[in-house]
Amino acid sequence: MASFYLGRVDLRASFERLKAAISAAVDDVSRAIALFVLVQAISVGSALAATTCADINAGAFNTSADHQSNTTVSLTAGDVITLNYTFIIDTTFFNGIELGVGNHFADGSNTASSSLHVTATVTGTQTFSWRSLSEDQLSLIDVTVACAGVVSPGPVVTSASPASGPVAGQQTTIVIGQRLTGATSVKFGGVDVLGFQVLNATEISVVTPPHAAGPVDVTVTTPLGAATGTALYRYTAMPDPSADPTVRAMVDFQVHTVQVMGQQQIDNVQDRLTDLHNDDVPVFSNRASFAQLPASQRPYGPPATSNPQDARAQLADPAQARHEPGDGQAGPATVVSDSSLRYWTAGSLQFGRDTTYVDAKYNVFSTGLSAGVDTRLARNLKVGIAVGYGIDHATVGSDGSRIDASTWSTQVYASYRAAPHWFIDGILGYAAGTLGNYRYDTSALAIGSGNRGASDLFGSLAVIREFELDRWKIAPYARLDLQSIRLGGYAETGAGIYNLSFNRTSAFDLAGMFGTKLSHVMDTSAGTLKSTVELAYRHGFSGAYTQIASYIVDPTTTYGLFGVAEKRDHALIGVGFELQVNRSLGFGVRFDELIANQARSERGQARIKLSF
């Protein structure tokens, strides 16, 4: 009995052990099946979308799984990736966990719950992954991933070069700082620049925008943030052109150039009018003159008269003997009284300087040519018509500023003998041309140029009384000169933001002159020598002009330039000599001293006279 009992006990124990083993196996299979189903349900091992440290911190990699397949992320060297994990299914057979960032890994120890850390060593895209090391046993792990990003310093703006510029903007400036790579915007005083280019990590080339005068902040925005440099750039008002001596001189001498060229034509015609005081003149006359004239002055007094023949020459010339006694008119070099038309040509060369503007002295070289035809309408009246052409080259200062001008003109003229020894001479003409203006701008360090149309309505009226006593002649005169000058508007090019625009302007110059000439004739072995002394006073009644100018980039701000066509009051003292070699050839020289308020200048003339 005892033996049977022990056998039943052993059999029952074995059965219990087998039952327990089967039950454990069933439980393992059940758990494995449950884990497999759970893993499949949560997509174990799928690649999750994460690109930056911010995405990681937003929970992109937080999951319950047994691994995370390779995912490309963009990190900065120094970023620290932390993997917090907890095994939640079957912690019996776990061995550990591995975290990989780039080519760097961290392994977990035999701990059911812990953290792993890996630091990124490079900046840029790299691979992120983790997996369970549980001896090929399926596990379920709670994972949270965090990224402690490196605090990258943002951009710094330290200076600008140049540190100032015009309110009109459009100036190229270099913004200097640190970590400026990838800049997305640059602002001056809160206004976007007109354009910019990142040169390197420390420099950005910008084109400044327009802004009111004063200091402004400079702000640069990059992917690392924004930086502002306080009062790094100062906007300055555009230079006042009305205070610029070159601008003032250019406008003044534009008016003056037109006036000088018109005066040349008056001079040439007045020379002809002097010839017409004679009863007979050559059928063809050629007169050329060479003059050095101060640009700011005008020729004064009526043109030099033809050399009077002395008494012996008159007696030797039958044509002269035919003149009425006491008519006070000198005979011509060649008498041709049976022709109804007379032809003539004349030319002059002038050069001189004006020092009104100390920093913009004016030097002029000018040529005027005239040709005309005239006839006698009545015994005491002769009239004619002439055409003229003039060119002028003037330099202003020493920096390359200049004016190149050319004009065509036409004029009518008349000489009327009102009474014996009394003559009234008149001229009326019109000239039109172009002024080529080239102004050097000290701010732009460049030439601003432009062409300007010009016109001149000019005239002269003189009354002359001649007194003769043996070889002496006194010729007092009164003269009224006028010139109505108009200049068209024009805009400069070539000086960038400093290009100026000039409105149309005009000047009406009316001046009266009183003077006298004292001359003496004597015979020499070389010919007849005439000496002349002239005294004259000129008063300008008008001649003022107003020129409105503005910068092309800022047409709403205008500047006024004011001046006069010539000095108001001045006196003339002149000395001249003429040698009449024969009837066809003569030479003359003349020197004038012109004196005005705070101004004094000299004028020299040389002349060759040819008659046919």
User: The pTM is what?
Assistant: 0.63
Separation of alpha carbons 390 and 347, rounded Å: 10
Amino acid at 234: R
Compute CA 240 distance to the chain's CA centroid, rounded to the nearest angstrom. 14
pLDDT greater at residue 454 or residue 354: 454
Q: What is the pairing mode between strands 284-292 and 342-354?
A: parallel
Separation of alpha carbons 478 and 511, rounded Å: 11
pLDDT of residue 320: 39
Query: In the structure, what pLDDT confidence band is assigned to residue 37 with cuts at 50, 70 and 90?
Result: very low
Instruction: Give yes or no for residue 167 having a pLDDT over 70.
Output: yes
pLDDT of residue 66: 75
- pLDDT tens digits for range 87-102: 776 555 556 788 888 8
pLDDT of residue 177: 95
- What is the pLDDT averaged over residues 393-419? 93
Query: In the structure, what pLDDT confidence band is assigned to residue 531 with cuts at 50, 70 and 90?
Result: very high
Pick the most confident of 246-250, 395-399, 488-492: 488-492
Out of 310-314, 458-462, 598-602, which region has the weakest mean confidence (pLDDT)?
Answer: 310-314
Query: In the structure, what pLDDT confidence band is assigned to residue 514 with cuts at 50, 70 and 90?
Result: very high
Bridge-partner residues for 393, per DSSP? Answer: 365, 404
Query: In the structure, what pLDDT confidence band is assigned to residue 27 with cuts at 50, 70 and 90?
Result: low
Instruction: Give yes or no for residue 426 having a pLDDT over 70.
Output: yes
pLDDT of residue 222: 92
Q: Residue 245 CB: number of other CB atoms within 10 A?
A: 15
Separation of alpha carbons 89 and 568, rounded Å: 113
Largest Cα–Cα distance in the chain? 201
pLDDT greater at residue 611 or residue 394: 394
Helix (H) or strand (E) holding 142: strand 140-148
3-state secondary structure of 307: coil
Separation of alpha carbons 502 and 87, rounded Å: 87
Out of 203-217, 352-366, 428-442, which region has the weakest mean confidence (pLDDT)?
Answer: 352-366
Separation of alpha carbons 267 and 231, rounded Å: 62
Query: In the structure, what pLDDT confidence band is assigned to residue 605 with cuts at 50, 70 and 90?
Result: low
pLDDT of residue 231: 94
pLDDT of residue 367: 73
- What is the pLDDT averaged over residues 26-33? 49
pLDDT of residue 319: 36
Instruction: Give yes or no for residue 541 having a pLDDT over 80.
Output: yes
Out of 37-41, 117-121, 127-131, 560-564, which region has the weakest mean confidence (pLDDT)?
Answer: 37-41
Instruction: Give yes or no for residue 295 having a pLDDT over 60.
Output: no
Instruction: Give yes or no for residue 464 having a pLDDT over 70.
Output: yes
Separation of alpha carbons 34 and 26, rounded Å: 12
pLDDT greater at residue 355 or residue 29: 355
Percentage of the chain beyond pLDDT 90 is 36
pLDDT of residue 323: 40
Cis geometry, peptide bond prior to residue 153 (ω within 30 degrees of 0): no
Separation of alpha carbons 267 and 34, rounded Å: 122
Instruction: Give yes or no for residue 388 having a pLDDT over 80.
Output: yes
Instruction: Give yes or no for residue 284 having a pLDDT over 70.
Output: no
Q: And the tokens for 503?
A: 């409105």
Instruction: Give yes or no for residue 576 having a pLDDT over 80.
Output: yes
pLDDT greater at residue 589 or residue 158: 158
Query: In the structure, what pLDDT confidence band is assigned to residue 317 with cuts at 50, 70 and 90?
Result: very low
Separation of alpha carbons 244 and 552, rounded Å: 17
- Tell me what the pLDDT averaged over the chain comes to: 79
Q: And the tokens for 364?
A: 């002029």
- What is the pLDDT averaged over residues 202-222? 94
Instruction: Give yes or no for residue 294 having a pLDDT over 60.
Output: no
* Contact present, 228 and 215 (Cβ < 8 Å): no
Helix (H) or strand (E) holding 260: helix 245-276
pLDDT of residue 65: 77
Q: DSSP labels for 66-93?
A: SEEEEEEEEE-TT-EEEEEEEEEE--SS
Amino acid at 221: T
Percentage of the chain beyond pLDDT 70 is 72
Bridge-partner residues for 450, per DSSP? Answer: 437
pLDDT of residue 394: 86
pLDDT greater at residue 131 or residue 508: 508
Instruction: Give yes or no for residue 526 having a pLDDT over 50.
Output: yes
* Contact present, 547 and 251 (Cβ < 8 Å): yes
pLDDT greater at residue 66 or residue 293: 66
Closest CA to 114 of 142, 80, 148: 142
Separation of alpha carbons 506 and 492, rounded Å: 19
Bridge-partner residues for 597, per DSSP? Answer: none
Q: Give the phi and the psi of residue 425 in degrees, each rounded to 5.
A: -115, 135
Instruction: Give yes or no for residue 6 having a pLDDT over 60.
Output: no
Instruction: Give yes or no for residue 345 having a pLDDT over 90.
Output: no
Instruction: Give yes or no for residue 310 having a pLDDT over 50.
Output: no
Cα-Cα end-to-end distance for the chain: 183
Separation of alpha carbons 471 and 20, rounded Å: 165
Instruction: Give yes or no for residue 492 having a pLDDT over 80.
Output: yes
- What is the pLDDT averaged over residues 39-46? 41
Q: Tell me how far CA of residue 579 lies from CA of 166, 349, 486, 520, 609, in angstroms.
A: 63, 20, 41, 12, 10
Query: In the structure, what pLDDT confidence band is assigned to residue 40 with cuts at 50, 70 and 90?
Result: very low
pLDDT greater at residue 534 or residue 606: 534
* Contact present, 477 and 301 (Cβ < 8 Å): yes
Query: In the structure, what pLDDT confidence band is assigned to residue 153 with cuts at 50, 70 and 90?
Result: confident
pLDDT greater at residue 460 or residue 361: 460
Out of 7-16, 26-35, 413-422, which region has the weakest mean confidence (pLDDT)?
Answer: 26-35
Q: DSSP labels for 200-213?
A: ETTEEEEEPPP--S
